[in-house]
Amino acid sequence: MIEIDVSLARSTGFRLEARFDAPGSGVTALFGRSGSGKTTIIQLVAGSIRPDAGRIAVDGETFFDSARGIDIGMEKRGCGYVFQDARLFPHMSVENNLRYGERRARRARTIGFDAVVQMLGIAHLLKRRPHTLSGGEKQRVAIGRALLSQPRLLLMDEPLASLDEMRKGEILPYLERLRDELALPILYVSHSVEEVLRLSDAVAAVADGKVIACGGLSDVLSRPELLPVLGRFDLGTILDCVVTAHDPELGLSTVAFADGELRVPLVGRPIGAAARVRIRSRDVSLSLSRPIDVSVTNRIGGTISSIRRAEGPFSDVELALPHGRLHALVTQESVIRLGLEPGMQVWAMIKAVTVDSRPAGFQSPGSEILSPPSSPAAPAPVRPAPPALRVVAGGNPPQEPS
């Protein structure tokens, strides 16, 4: 487990007060807007800057404790650090950059040179110099160098921020493989919802120097506390699904989750594979009766568990489903006109085109549906939220409207 409870005041007036626990494996995303304090948190963990007060511990070993006078040096903490820019040594070949990381190892070897090269797909780059590499290739080498230092914890500071969409698509499968094949805790800094959805198991949302929400991915990204981070129009619901059918002619796939099925734009994953789907609350409409003769494809029954007045003319309506929950952002006028109140049974309508399944990978209509590959791009399973982070429980399961 990673335990962080720190405070730091900057001469600029910025103050950080961060307190959260993260699991000892998998990816925990530090998610928030630029300047919120995400990078400062991992710098404190790495030891490159010192907190004013507090405590940092990893797997039971205390890195810093102001009350006990403990402050282990950066080089002894055993953290691998991957920066936004690769920071490779320009005068060294790729292989020598990797060997440099290997020489810095202070812990027993848990992953070897050949395994890292194979995992990151960089064998063909070993003799080249950094200036000849693409941005994605540089970042893969930087990750390999960090791994070969045999870290107990990997810190990644927006490693994709400087890459265009094509390069991000190139490197994301390798990050998924890293997550799935190594029992290594990763703190991953990002302000990209898409990266967080695709990679993380858990989220600590950071705003104005404070951790405003932390827990499992599905829980945190649907919580009202995230308004300062996402904005009211991007709050929503995350569903862990399984691909059950494809219709290439119509350009649609069917994915199943605990409370039903959804039709989504064609997903580039085989039947039976996991897919993570995001439904933005602004894309959900409500009906008092079961909708018929409407163009909306996805209809889900639930019970209103709460109605919260949001910014401006809007209200956030939370629906309790038998096994989960769903959020809808509607106008307060609609709440009054429909007489919405907690305990009412309603139907949620979600257009197929609004369901954001990008973490599962879209396919163009008519293109080939992928079969399970053996390459690093193989789909990673979507795992439930780790219990080590504080998670807020949902409401009571409702009865489905008739």
Tell me if 179 sits within 8 A of 25, measured CB to CB. Answer: no
pLDDT at 115 over 80: yes
Per-residue exposure over 37-58, b if at least 16 CB sit within 10 Å of its own CB, e if not: bbbbbbbbbbbeeebeebbbbb
Q: What is the pLDDT of residue 227?
A: 63
Alpha-carbon span 75 to 105, nearest angstrom: 10
Per-residue exposure over 273-297, b if at least 16 CB sit within 10 Å of its own CB, e if not: bbbbbbbbbbbbbbbeeeeeeeeee
pLDDT at 228 over 90: no
**Mean pLDDT (whole number) for 375-388:** 38
Q: What is the pLDDT of residue 266?
A: 86
For residue range 25-64, list pLDDT tens digits in order: 889 999 888 888 999 999 999 999 999 999 999 988 999 9
Q: Is residue 308 classed exposed, middle or buried when 0-12, 13-18 and 19+ CB atoms within 10 A define those classes?
A: exposed
pLDDT at 375 over 80: no
Q: What is the pLDDT of residue 221?
A: 76
Give Rg (Cα) of the chain.
23
**Mean pLDDT (whole number) for 292-312:** 89
**Mean pLDDT (whole number) for 273-294:** 88
Count of C-beta atoms within a 10 Å radius of residue 79:
22
Q: What is the pLDDT of residue 347?
A: 95
The DSSP secondary structure of 217-230, one letter per residue, reads HHHHTTSGGGHHHH
Q: In sequence order, which residues have a C-beta less than 8 Å from that of residue 239 and are 6 or more positions away?
A: 218, 257, 262, 276, 277, 278, 279, 324
pLDDT at 87 over 60: yes
84-93, 222-231, 234-243: range with lowest mean pLDDT: 222-231
pLDDT at 97 over 60: yes
**SS3 at position 144:** helix
Q: What is the end-to-end Cα distance of the chain in Å, rounded? A: 45
Q: What is the pLDDT of residue 224?
A: 66
Q: What is the pLDDT of residue 234?
A: 64
Domains, the chain, ranges and CATH?
2-230 (3.40.50.300), 236-360 (2.40.50.100)
**SS3 at position 262:** strand
Alpha-carbon span 255 to 108, nearest angstrom: 43
pLDDT confidence of 356, banded at 50, 70, 90?
A: low
pLDDT at 177 over 90: no
pLDDT at 80 over 60: yes
pLDDT confidence of 357, banded at 50, 70, 90?
A: low
pLDDT at 367 over 60: no
The three-state DSSP-derived secondary structure of 70-120 is: EECCHHHCCEEEECCCCCCCCCCCHHHHHHHHHHCCCCCCCCCHHHHHHHH
Mean pLDDT estimate for the chain: 82
Q: What is the pLDDT of residue 232?
A: 57
pLDDT confidence of 363, banded at 50, 70, 90?
A: very low
Beta bridge partners of 213: 205
For residue range 229-281, list pLDDT tens digits in order: 666 556 778 888 899 999 999 989 999 999 999 998 888 788 998 888 888 88
Q: Which amino acid is at 172?
A: L
Alpha-carbon span 140 to 284, nearest angstrom: 39
Sequence-ordered alpha helix ranges (H) in 258-348: 332-338
Q: What is the pLDDT of residue 200?
A: 86
Alpha-carbon span 228 to 208, nearest angstrom: 9
CA 310 to chain centre: 25
68-77, 122-131, 351-360: range with lowest mean pLDDT: 351-360
CA 140 to chain centre: 19
Q: What is the pLDDT of residue 349?
A: 94
pLDDT confidence of 152, banded at 50, 70, 90?
A: confident
pLDDT at 65 over 50: yes
124-128, 273-277, 371-375: range with lowest mean pLDDT: 371-375
Sequence-ordered alpha helix ranges (H) in 182-281: 193-199, 217-220, 227-230
Q: What is the pLDDT of residue 123?
A: 92
pLDDT at 382 over 70: no
Q: What is the pLDDT of residue 108?
A: 67
Tokens standing for residue 148 = 């070969």
